[in-house]
Structure 1
Amino acid sequence: MGFPARYAVRPHVPDDAPAVLALVEAAEKVDVGEPAIEVEDIQGAWARPSFDLATESIGIFHTEKDGTQTLAASADVFKGRRAEAAVHPDHRGRGLGTWLAGWVEDCARGRGSRLVGQTAPADSSPERFLRDRGYHQMWTSWVLQVPGDRTIEPQPLPDGYTLREFAPGDERTAYQLIEDAFNEWPDRDPTSFEDWASNIVLRPGFEPWQLRFTVDPTGTPVGVAFTILAGTTAYVDQLAVRRDERGRGLARALLVDAFERGRAHGGAVSELSTDSRTGALGLYERVGMVVTQTWRHWATNL
């Protein structure tokens, strides 16, 4: 399609990350009520070895009257399967979303994918767009929060089990614990160590306190939690316990520990997300967390 006047298209370059952040923040403020993204999220995603910024990203730029360019819309496609696309609220209703959707589908198809999708806020303009385009719903995700004035009761560890933070050399252990647990989900593509590391231990600003292990009496790590501090929110991004060690309260102990560590580093609010593939929503609600956002994943066959 032809764009309205003053729009131009090109792939992203690394220096575009702040502009993408501003775009997504503006979109999420309208669609969700508050933004939940950091520039490090974008930089880490773009740094994945499996991702090619030059061919798997696109930006639509608008030339303002003073000659400056602003980012009006943006999209990425990861592994031909997962898309992240957004149109700035000020530029909606001009056909940019339709063009982006076509680009996303062509990009995924060109990489041999038979299915591509995106997670969108429930009952939002982006969700209605995907549904009207013929996408089908696959799973539901929830963001849960521990209000600032509420605490989760500590979970005692079994005898001989301890908690400790990341130390150099723990990278592969953390990766395997998370990868083994997450691969139990349906419709989940395995993640390479290199892709995982770009968003965790190689994430800009990473500090050892963010990655915590629960360790069995032999000194072997059997569970892990990764926490991101986003402004004043401590967000538990990944949490996993080895299958044969579940049912001992280790996940809850890691969760409480992560929230406490986050608060110690300035996190006034504690959050995490889960989805319908895990069956963990009830667990988090029972420990005092409340749902603050609902998202749904929509996909289309190519």
Structure 2
Amino acid sequence: MAAPHLPAGYTAHPIDPAADRPRLQALAAACRTVLDPDATADPDALDAVLKRDGLDPAADVVLVRAPGGDLAAWAWTDRRTAVAVHPGHRGRGLGAALLDWTERRARERGDSLLTQTVDDRDPAAVALLQTHGYRPRATNWLLEIPLDDTELPPPPAGVTVRPFHPDDAHAVHRLSDAAFGDWQERSKPFEEWAAFHLHRESFAPDRSPLALVDGRVVGAALSLVRPGSTDGYVETLAVDREFRHRGIARHLLRYSFAACRRAGLAHGTLWTHSGTGALDLYLKIGMTVRRATSVVGKDLTTP
């Protein structure tokens, strides 16, 4: 794979996950806080990327160093893609160069579509992606609700709710895969799914309730700890199609948020995707939109 065509003085390098982790975390923090000074880190984000099924870190990831050796940008591509440029190195053509590189690499891989997520608060990034042929495909919303001491009501009739246990992993994977099958980009193998959801240091099983009917897992809310944040965060909420519209999702959220409140947190949060059709559910239970991102895509089947 050819290196990206970079501005003078900048050099491309392969990733060394262990050695580059602190630099990548610092880069992510700089990109995050330029949009939101109060934003907190996702310490497992790099591992989640590198464990994507089909991603070859040696070929599908590139790091860019500035003339002085500092990490200035990085990019990866594997059907989805991401490009991040340090705020101190923007406006020099790095973003455009890395977008070109991800597209060339994706075509080499045989990918027909590239998608990535862009924060709506970053108009320069939105404009750059539009210039490179990316078009809107979906919207993500980060929702929040203040946590109070309201007593947790009983679960719906016939439903048992308890915290996640490691023995539940495969059942929850099957549930999640089926629940999101209509809109997710592909079915994820168990190991990739578990690496992203369960095998993260930030996974919080005590805040991750399951709903069972006759011993069968029919709902799950998987939560993560956000270091340094006052937010409780539900990363995934899924309910079996057969058992929807019975109040299970609402109860699982309340259960998870109650656990967050007991931990001293101030808000319950989660992301939802326009493809799930779940926004109205969250608004009806009192959640409000904190911010939004857009999923954009580029068709690679045309020249």
Residue number in structure 1 paired with 2:236: 238
SS in 1 for 2:70: strand
Matches within 5 A, 1:111-122: 111-122=109-120
> Kindly, what percent of the aligned residue pairs are identical?
34
Distance 1:264 1:55, change over 3 A: farther
Match status 1:50 vs 2:54: yes
Residues 140-175 of structure 1: CA distance to partner in whole angstroms, max 9, x if unpaired?
111111135x57785542223121112232110010
Conserved 8 A contact 2:76-2:82 = yes
Match status 1:100 vs 2:98: yes
Distance 1:99 1:222, change over 3 A: same
Conserved 8 A contact 1:17-1:39 = no
Q: CA deviation at 1:50?
A: 3.0
- For the aligned residues, what is the CA RMSD? 2.0
Residues 102-142 of structure 1: CA distance to partner in whole angstroms, max 9, x if unpaired?
11111211111111021101152211211122211111111
Q: CA deviation at 1:203?
A: 1.3
Conserved 8 A contact 1:152-1:287 = no
Name the aligned partner's letter for residue 199 of structure 1.
F
241-250 vs 290-299, which moves further? 290-299
Conserved 8 A contact 2:205-2:222 = no
Match status 1:181 vs 2:182: no
TM-score (norm 1): 0.90
Unaligned runs of 5+ in 1: none
Matched residue pairs, number? 292
In structure 2, which of residues 207, 211, 220 is the aligned counterpart of residue 224 of structure 1? 220
Q: Could you tell me how far apart the structure 2 residues matched to 1:9 and 1:155 are?
A: 55
Residue number in structure 2 paired with 1:28: 32
Distance 1:251 1:61, change over 3 A: same
Q: CA deviation at 1:207?
A: 4.5
Residue number in structure 2 paired with 1:261: 259
Q: Could you tell me how far apart the structure 2 residues matched to 1:205 and 1:32 are?
A: 21
SS in 2 for 1:288: coil
Match status 1:137 vs 2:140: no
Name the aligned partner's letter for residue 16 of structure 2.
V
198-207 vs 8-17, which moves further? 198-207
Q: Could you tell me how far apart the structure 2 residues matched to 1:271 and 1:264 are?
A: 15
Match status 1:73 vs 2:73: yes
In structure 1, which of residues 285, 293, 296 is the aligned counterpart of residue 294 of structure 2? 296
Q: Could you tell me how far apart the structure 1 residues matched to 2:135 and 2:150 are?
A: 37
In structure 2, which of residues 5, 8, 13 is the aligned counterpart of residue 10 of structure 1? 13
Distance 1:300 1:156, change over 3 A: same
Q: Could you tell me how far apart the structure 2 residues matched to 1:222 and 1:126 are?
A: 40
Distance 1:230 1:23, change over 3 A: same
Conserved 8 A contact 1:183-1:189 = yes
Distance 1:112 1:120, change over 3 A: same
Q: CA deviation at 1:36?
A: 4.8
Q: Could you tell me how far apart the structure 2 residues matched to 1:33 and 1:301 are?
A: 35
Q: Could you tell me how far apart the structure 2 residues matched to 1:138 and 1:116 are?
A: 11
SS in 2 for 1:169: helix
Q: Could you tell me how far apart the structure 2 residues matched to 1:17 and 1:300 are?
A: 29
38-47 vs 280-289, which moves further? 38-47
Residues 12-35 of structure 1: CA distance to partner in whole angstroms, max 9, x if unpaired?
121222322221221122235543
Conserved 8 A contact 1:73-1:87 = yes
Residue number in structure 2 paired with 1:82: 80
Q: CA deviation at 1:49?
A: 4.3
Unaligned runs of 5+ in 2: none
89-98 vs 55-64, which moves further? 55-64
Q: Could you tell me how far apart the structure 2 residues matched to 1:139 and 1:29 are?
A: 24
Conserved 8 A contact 1:229-1:267 = no
SS in 1 for 2:59: helix
